[in-house]
Amino acid sequence: MIKLAFCLRRLPQLTPKAFRDYWHDVHGPLVREVADALQMRRYVQSHALVDPRFAGIGATRGIDATPFDGIAELWWDDVDTMLAVGETREGREASRRLVADERNFIDVVNSPLFFVNEREIVTR
């Protein structure tokens, strides 16, 4: 499997709650609607957990970066399957709809994405 990891930062005019609500309640159902056209196997939203008890964890590592508001993870069977989506009218339209909707809540320029192969180390 291949996975796309999309590290999201919200648009500056959105509160964290408005971002989370839109992402879950509006964008999530849209992803579900177009998943077949995109040949997507899995989609997971990981919403940032803000808790003051976590404040020191990044500091102990010297991290001085603005945290992400969440991570979207999308899975496909393989690279060829994912790339073949762009060769169909349905796949292109589904991709266009998602990208257009992302502009409603994601600071796209400051939200990196990358492809990964998972290497599971611990499962309990």
Band of pLDDT at residue 11, cut at 50, 70 and 90:
very high
Average pLDDT over residues 104-120: 96
14-48 in b/e form (b: 16+ CB < 10 A) is beeeebbebbeeebeeebeebeebbbbeeeebeeb
User: Whole-prediction pTM value?
Assistant: 0.91
Quote the radius of gyration of the chain (alpha carbons, Å): 16
CA distance 92 to 87: 7
CA distance 5 to 43: 10
CA dihedral 10, 17, 47, 80 (to 10 degrees): -50
The pLDDT, as a whole number, for residue 65 is 72
* Average model confidence (pLDDT) across the chain: 94
Provide the residue ranges of all domains of the chain, joining segments of one domain with +. 1-6+18-49+76-116
CA distance 59 to 38: 39
Query: Which residues, other chains included, contact 112 with Cβ-Cβ below 8 Å and sequence gap of 6+?
Result: 6, 7
Tens digits of per-residue pLDDT, 20-71? Answer: 999 999 999 999 999 999 999 999 999 999 888 887 787 788 877 778 999 9
Q: What is the largest CA-CA distance in the chain?
A: 49
* Tokens 């196997």 sit on residue: 41
The pLDDT, as a whole number, for residue 54 is 80
Is there a contact between 68 and 7 (Cβ–Cβ < 8 Å)? yes
